[in-house]
Structure formats: structure tokens, C-alpha cells
Structure 1
């Protein structure tokens, strides 16, 4: 097996697998030390598609070569429906195709993990370090960091009307959802944009680092397994098209491939539930039963109202709006789609259990169905959901898609479904307010009534996901509090999969903060106080799955590099 150029396997200090939200942060931060050799490996291509950078273009990336294009398997509590799960397969990962909402989550989310070093107060300095908020520096916000956070520049009148209607329905108005003292209310979301264009984590963190001679970025290279010898991660093996490629890590391998692909890669490498791995003929390296378990998400259901006013995002391709975006970085092409929303409670508790998103267009089938009229779409999602799903291997073939089942509303006592039903009632109440009257002329997709049976039926028929998977390589069961894989040396996981429970809100900011702290943990500038209780003890096997790393390897060539073979392009 050869390195990227056909010679011996290249050797680095750190291999970062996956150039998504976390991987871009880690590659940038670790390569700040000139003497440290860092290689970032991405299965997809460079982020040079214009639809990555024009905010409204994200929907045009669905089901394309830049999308892992996953689906759930039959969801038993949704009538057997299968839900589409887009995931970015490109530099920037899902931060190159998400809704760009900048949301940290609730203080109790992090404090509730009960992990040393991971409370909200522990992470707040990392949120601030990464942030460049156009409102300026404050005790809870940063200025001058890599990640641009700004006000939305679409300024659609329907988004403002939605917030006004929520206030008319009795909710409070919120100016800053990321103020730790704010508990609930409605307002316009801040977004990760710079001058009206998407500021993905590739744009924010990776691009400024590309001129460093100690950083190499390999695109169009899919890692198939982690090479483990003697209980230690020594490198990775994968392929670019039909060419087998091997890379070596002298210090650590860091997996950042997301809540679906990270557990898949661990299991393909022999790290996971031993019985299931043996059934697939995969030699067991570490028996970790919770790899791929504990899958969480934010189930959601929208109401859709059509109307006659030509103000929805259907107008975005008009010449005047194209010109405005080109000259000002504003207008409908700058829309992140979920422009407004808020938080509410269906019951008493320490934190909101509902989040709302409002989008100024007809949003059907999570954006896969073309809108036919001007419309507004809004609805609740469940926060703190109790349901848990799983990611398992469908095949030992590393190019096969994993088997994903979220088991939405499978919590047993019906609490998650009851929460969504309560949220639908709130959404219907908001829809009846005077501020939205001009935009709710024709109900297009709404429940038959606000009766319990109709709302429950609607929820099961119309539930979609907000694309916020987490929890499948969680600290405390798969990882220790330093993000190290239990039972395997020199191997960490850093992405949304490490969260024991999913944060309340859109998770990209949280993943960025986790990666910022992870970089300090790897560099040794952050410590892990105390110890973490491990609920599933790892059983370690020192037999590597397949052939190990051989040969002395070669150091990467001097000078920054982005290499992707014939299919790749420099960024």
C-alpha cells in the first residue's frame, strides 16, 4: 500500500480524519505550531462549488456529490417512513451546507454531562475565542476570532412578522439567544456569515492556515479503517478512486467524521460491539458496546401556509436580487432559510424543551420538493429528546452506507411525541395572530384540527429531522473526558458524536467549541481534571484488523498542499 503520491506511506505527527466542522478547527489549531506536521484527510472534494458559499444555494447541494446522501432505515414510530439525512461530503463538512444558525445551547446541556472540563463555563472561553461577532466584544461574545457571526442579511418581512406574531401569542422577544441568562423567547437568529456569504468552518479556520508548510490537506480520499498495532493507532488506510492509500501518524489519529461516520469508521477498524463485529468478520481491537448507540437528534414538524404576496425566497433568482447579492451581500440569496425562531417550554423544567424555526418559503420534504407558491413554513422541534437510535454496520465493506435508525418517538412513555404535539399547538396559535395574517391565507400543510388525535397523527406523518445527529461515540461510554477512545492509545474522536446528550439548539457552534478545546487537549495546554466514570469497560485486543503499517515512511513535502488526485482542486 502506498502514500498519496504512490511512494511509501507519508508520515505526519497528527492525522485528522474528516474536514468537517471539527476537523477544520483541529487542523488549523494544531498546525499553528510550525514544527508539527498535520495532515487533514477529506473524503469529498474542495469547497469550490458556488452553492457552498451563496447561502441560499445549500439546498442545491442535496443528493449531489457533495452530500453523503444518507437516509434512516424504516422508522418504526413514524409508520415505517425513511427520512433523508444530508451530510456534507466536502471541505467544511456539514458547515458547508447547514442553515448557518449560530446557537450555543443551554447552560444546563453542558453542565448536565457531569464531565470534568466540559461545563458551560469551561467551554465559554472557547466559544468566545472562535467568534468574530459583528456586534463586537462583550463578556459573552468574541471579536476577532476566525468564525464570523452576523445578523441575517435577507431581512425577509415574513421572518419579522413571525417574531411579532410569537410576541402577540404571549412569548417574549429575544435579542441575543446566546446570552447565558436568556432562557426562552423568539427573535431573529444570528448566522455564520461574512459579508452575506457562508462562513463555514473551512472558510473560517482552514483557508487561513493553508499556506503553512506543515499542513497538508488530502481531498477525495476516503479512509476505510484506522490501522491499530499493539493497541495503538498508527495510521489510516483508505483509497482515492481505485488507488489504495496509507498514511501514518507518529502522535495521534483524530477522527472527526460526524455522528454517523465516526462510529462507522471505528467499527470498521474493530472498535465497537464485539459480537456484531465478529458476525461481520471484523477482528476485534476493542470491545466497546456503545459505539454507534445513543444516537440523538431534534425531531421537527412544520406548518406550511401559502399566500399571494411575492416576498418568499422564490424571488431570489430575479435580476435585481442577484445584483443586490453581488454588490451588497444582501437580499434573498443571503438567506440562511431558518431566519427566525425561538425557544419555549411545554412543561416546567430547568430549560426549554421546544425550539422553533421559521423559513420564508414553502419548505416541503426537507427541501427536496420544489416550492409551488409563495409561502411561510414554521414549526417546533423537540429539545432534550429521550428517544435513542443507533448507527450499525450494514456490511464490512467500507464503501457501504451505515445502517441508521433514529427511532424518533421511541422513548416508551410518549414524552417526546407529547412535547412535539404541544409545540404544534403553539405554532397554530402563532399562526392565528394578526402579524401573520397576510402570510397565512391558504393552509397548505397543517393538521386537520388542533385535537389531540389529529395532532399526533400529523406529527407522525410530517416529522422530519433538523439534521442534528449526536451522541454515538459519547464521552463516558466510548471516550474518556479527554476525548480518547477507551482501550486504544493515540486515538481520539472529536465531533458531535462525543456529546453524551445533544445540546438544545443548532449544534455547529457547540461542535466548534468542542474542537477548540480538543485542540488544547491534544497540545497539552488544557487538562482533564479528575476522572470520568466509564459505564462500559473496554476489552482490548492487540490484533490489528488486517495488515498494519509497514515501511519507514516519508515525511510530507515542504510547503502547504491540498491534494486530491485528478478529481481534486486546490483551495
Structure 2
């Protein structure tokens, strides 16, 4: 029997931070259990290498959602990181916090201490922003944030001009005073390498004698004495082990694995658990419910000038960018596929942006089977403009299918299941065409490839985005935070309602999805959660 002060399940965006913060003073022993293996892989560290990890079972859970009526019956691929750093080791690295109103809504829903003014100092402490510190940004923190404006493809600058021609302001920092507008995304890299949570937090913590990290260790059950969590049972190399936590067990396994582990341990929807032969320790229908996620789609155009397709498709181009990356740590391989972006409102009457934009200076209409599209650009010059909804009202769920911890849970996204989400996306794709018709971009467009000029009616546009939309990999809220125990899983201090010695610290606690990419907010949640634990120590 192993004994530690704290056991953390998951080494992802939140868990890595919790491990570093709780071990920093040297007074507490910390065990981190990670179901996957090492992050020291070339295509993990190389920023654009996430195309190689998109389907790789060595680093990816490779979840598949249920066939979704809202997505024309498609069963969506859900990649999640299964390695040190979790999904921060395989994501697109876009560094977005969300809007002030997102966090103020968390606070106003009864979660004291989670308003924007509460979390802004944490975001600033986390960051080492290349552009320097100001009222909104930090410098000197563990996560280096890179400004790509001097590196983007020339087409990206035309996209920025086009945005201004449809009355979107040029925005130098989407995490600054305002989010609305078009600009170049900042990404979490440093010196041409991915700045994952593992690199920023866990690797430094692993140098401490009071931290132990077990890789390839699948947590199978939370151990309880009465209603108090006292440890974790886990499997490694075909053997079962147990570890005891003298102070707390912390679930940082993410929005899929955290509710899965709770349910396997008898915490969740009582009727469902009993139907699977699982003894119910604490019935709570909210475990695995309230799933929220952003849905996205690309419109693709054939260009009249060279794009990254002509550089990334031929063997000599791959060789050139590869040598540039190896020698100089820059070029296309040191960036995200989303160079430009932005936020806009589908209706001027809306108080704040409700849609996110992505500009990609390449196209992938013809991907090779089983391969992430960014690895096989089209043979002709092309580019894409994508978008995703910021605050969808559709809700899904994540429920275990069986008592076997090795079986993937059932993921029901329920995408576009509300009229609000359908109407919003319809207005958004019409805006994309308006953007493409601007003088700045139209002069560079030979033709619209997807969905194509024949798709014009509202019915056809809706049918198209149902067929071609999919997750943009931001699932949250499956163990949501709230003061009302009848509609949440954890308190504002991230303690699981009705139990002792157990907290959840990851994106599953988000009361609602934020307006933008979720990785920065997940890292913030790890920092905040560790603070709460330290405040509650006797």
C-alpha cells in the first residue's frame, strides 16, 4: 500500500498545475496517476505535429461519440490526450481565456471567487507573454505565450483586411480589453516547441523528491471509507495497485474520464449505475450530464495565388520546412494551423461576440484515409475560413456503458439540438460568405469549393453544416460546479457534494462553456483549485 498526502488522477491541463502547486513548498507528498505515457515524442513537441497525434493510440484516447442526429447521423471523432500533459500535449495551442462575462456568469450562478476579477490575477500569474505585461497580460509565469504576427502567411494579412471591411476591428490581443474583432492568434509555444501543461508545470515538479508520477496507470476506482475518499485503485502492466491519500483525492482526468471514474466508483445517476451492477455510494444525476461543447465548420476556397498547400504537400516542400524547423525552430511547423482568427456577433443586437473565426492558409478537401487532414493539403492552392459557436445551448451527456474501466463511455453530444444553435450557425455561415466577398479576399478567390456556390437556400446551408460540422474539442461541464446540489456535482471550492476528501479540478467543473478555446481556462482552474486546497489545509 502506497501512502501520499494527495493523489491526483490525470496529468493534463489542470492536473499538472495542481501537482506543481501542491508540491512546491516541499511539505506534502503528491502522487500523479496518468493513464498514458511520456510526452517526450517529436510530434508532440513540434507544434504542427499534432496532425500526427490526431489518431495515434499511443497518445490519444481516440473516443468516438454516438451517431448524432444534429450532425446528420455522423459519429464524431473525439481526440483526447492520453499522455503527460493530457490534451494540452496534442491540442492546437491557441491561447484564449474567454470573455469577462463568462466568468462573471459563473460567479453570479453562486460560485463565489470565480468572477473575472477573481481569476484575472491567476491568468496573469500563469503567463509569460512575449508581448509583455499590461493590465490584462502577465510576464514571467510558467506558460510562454508566443506572438505570431511577424510569421503569418501573407494571405492571413488579407484576411485581416477583409475583417475590417465587414466592420470588425483589428484586435491585437483577444485576451486584452475586448475580444471582438479579427487578429492573429497567440499560441502556447516557446522557442518553436509546444508549451504544454506538462512542460510548464509537471516536468519542473517531477524534479522534486515529494512528487511521484506513475505513467501507464489507469485509475479504476476511488476508494472510500464510509463517505470519505481515501485512495485510488489503479491498473498498471496488468496488475492492480492501491494508493492511499492522507489528505485528498483529486480528479483531474478531464470532462470524459472524470465522470467515468466517478460513475465507476458508485457516484452518479443511481438508476443507471444499478442497471450496470454498480453499488451506489452517492446518487447524483448531474455526474456526466450537462455536457457542452463547441461545434465548428470550415468553408474552403481555391485561391489564385500560392498557399501553404504548395509548400506542405510536395516532398521537397516537406523537406524544406522540416529542415527549417530542425535548424531554426521556426516556419510553418512551429505554428498552429489556425494563424488568424477572431470573434464576431451574428446579430448587432447581441451584447457580445457569439462566434469564433479561424483562418487557415491551406486547404484539406481531399485528406488521405485515416490521416489528419493537415498532413495532406490539396494539390491546388487553397485556404479555409472556419468558425465555431461560443456559447451553444445544446446539452449532451457522458455515461459509462459497463462496469469495465477499460471500456470507453457513451458520448452523446446532441449537437445543434436547439433552434438557437441552428439559427446562430445559419447566420454565421452567411457571414463567412460575406467575409469572402470583401475586396480584400475576393480578388484572391478562384472559386468556393466547400460547400460550393450551389448551396444557397437556408435549408441547404443547414443541411450542409449538419453534415460537415463537428466538435472543436472543448467538452466541459460534466461535473459542473454550483451552489445548488440538485444541479451540480462540486461546490465552488471544487469539493464533491455529499462526500469528503474528494475534489474535481479540471474543465468538467465549468458551470458553462467559455467563449473560446478552453485550455487556458483549464490551466487557470488547476491553479485556482490548488489555491483552494491550500486555503483549506488545517
Give the TM-score range, shorter chain.
Answer: over 0.9
Give the one of 419, 425, 434 matched to 2:439: 434
Give the one of 503, 528, 531 matched to 1:517: 528
Aligned to 1:478: 489
**C-alpha distance in 2 between matches for 1:464 and 1:367:** 16
- Whether contact under 8 Å (1:25, 1:201) holds in the other structure is yes
Aligned to 1:195: 191
**C-alpha distance in 1 between matches for 2:211 and 2:293:** 34
When the two structures are superposed, what TM-score results if normalisation uses the length of structure 1?
0.87
Aligned to 2:170: 173
Query: How has the CA–CA distance of structure 1 residues 439 and 286 changed in structure 2, closer, same or farther, with 3 Å as cutoff?
Result: farther
When the two structures are superposed, what TM-score results if normalisation uses the length of structure 2?
0.93
- Whether contact under 8 Å (1:425, 1:450) holds in the other structure is no
**Deviation digits for residues 190-242 of structure 1, max 9, x if unmatched?**
11010121101111111122211001111011101111111011111111131
After superposition, residues 323-472 of structure 1 pair within 5 angstroms as 323-347=323-347, 348-363=349-364, 368-369=372-373, 370-373=376-379, 374-411=381-418, 414-437=419-442, 439-447=444-452, 448-472=454-478
**C-alpha distance in 1 between matches for 2:537 and 2:303:** 54
**C-alpha distance in 2 between matches for 1:26 and 1:439:** 48
- Whether contact under 8 Å (2:309, 2:378) holds in the other structure is no
Query: In the TM superposition, what is the alpha-carbon distance from 1:449 to its structure 2 partner?
Result: 3.2
After superposition, residues 216-295 of structure 1 pair within 5 angstroms as 216-295=212-291
SS in 1 for 2:138: coil
**C-alpha distance in 1 between matches for 2:310 and 2:220:** 41
1:151 matched to 2:166 = no
**Deviation digits for residues 330-368 of structure 1, max 9, x if unmatched?**
211112111111111112233211111112222458973
- Whether contact under 8 Å (1:417, 1:459) holds in the other structure is no
Name structure 2 gaps, 5 residues minimum: 483-487
Give the number of equivalent residue pairs: 516
Aligned to 2:77: 84
- Whether contact under 8 Å (2:48, 2:332) holds in the other structure is yes
**C-alpha distance in 2 between matches for 1:522 and 1:26:** 9
SS in 1 for 2:134: coil
SS in 2 for 1:91: coil
**C-alpha distance in 1 between matches for 2:78 and 2:151:** 26
Deviating more after overlay: 380-389 vs 316-325: 316-325
Deviating more after overlay: 311-320 vs 426-435: 311-320
**C-alpha distance in 2 between matches for 1:494 and 1:469:** 14
Query: How has the CA–CA distance of structure 1 residues 47 and 405 changed in structure 2, closer, same or farther, with 3 Å as cutoff?
Result: same
- Whether contact under 8 Å (2:286, 2:478) holds in the other structure is yes
SS in 2 for 1:112: helix
Query: How has the CA–CA distance of structure 1 residues 367 and 102 changed in structure 2, closer, same or farther, with 3 Å as cutoff?
Result: farther
Deviating more after overlay: 433-442 vs 148-157: 433-442
1:204 matched to 2:200 = yes
Aligned to 1:33: 25
Aligned to 1:498: 509
Query: In the TM superposition, what is the alpha-carbon distance from 1:164 to its structure 2 partner?
Result: 1.7
**C-alpha distance in 2 between matches for 1:98 and 1:429:** 29
SS in 2 for 1:441: strand
**C-alpha distance in 1 between matches for 2:357 and 2:456:** 18
Name structure 1 gaps, 5 residues minimum: 1-8, 528-571
Query: In the TM superposition, what is the alpha-carbon distance from 1:304 to its structure 2 partner?
Result: 1.1
Query: How has the CA–CA distance of structure 1 residues 104 and 440 changed in structure 2, closer, same or farther, with 3 Å as cutoff?
Result: same
Aligned to 1:59: 51
Aligned to 1:103: 96
- Whether contact under 8 Å (2:168, 2:181) holds in the other structure is yes
- Whether contact under 8 Å (2:346, 2:431) holds in the other structure is no
Aligned to 2:37: 45
Query: In the TM superposition, what is the alpha-carbon distance from 1:324 to its structure 2 partner?
Result: 2.4
**Deviation digits for residues 116-171 of structure 1, max 9, x if unmatched?**
00001100010011100011121211111000001127422222222222112222
SS in 2 for 1:45: coil
Deviating more after overlay: 395-404 vs 303-312: 303-312
Deviating more after overlay: 357-366 vs 134-143: 357-366
Aligned to 2:498: 487
Query: In the TM superposition, what is the alpha-carbon distance from 1:314 to its structure 2 partner?
Result: 5.8
- Whether contact under 8 Å (1:379, 1:423) holds in the other structure is no
- Whether contact under 8 Å (1:237, 1:245) holds in the other structure is yes
SS in 1 for 2:362: coil
**C-alpha distance in 2 between matches for 1:308 and 1:187:** 23
**Deviation digits for residues 520-571 of structure 1, max 9, x if unmatched?**
10111799xxxxxxxxxxxxxxxxxxxxxxxxxxxxxxxxxxxxxxxxxxxx
Aligned to 1:544: none
Query: How has the CA–CA distance of structure 1 residues 359 and 83 changed in structure 2, closer, same or farther, with 3 Å as cutoff?
Result: same
Query: How has the CA–CA distance of structure 1 residues 313 and 518 changed in structure 2, closer, same or farther, with 3 Å as cutoff?
Result: farther
Aligned to 2:485: none
- Whether contact under 8 Å (1:305, 1:439) holds in the other structure is no
**C-alpha distance in 2 between matches for 1:505 and 1:526:** 34
1:160 matched to 2:170 = no
**C-alpha distance in 2 between matches for 1:367 and 1:117:** 43
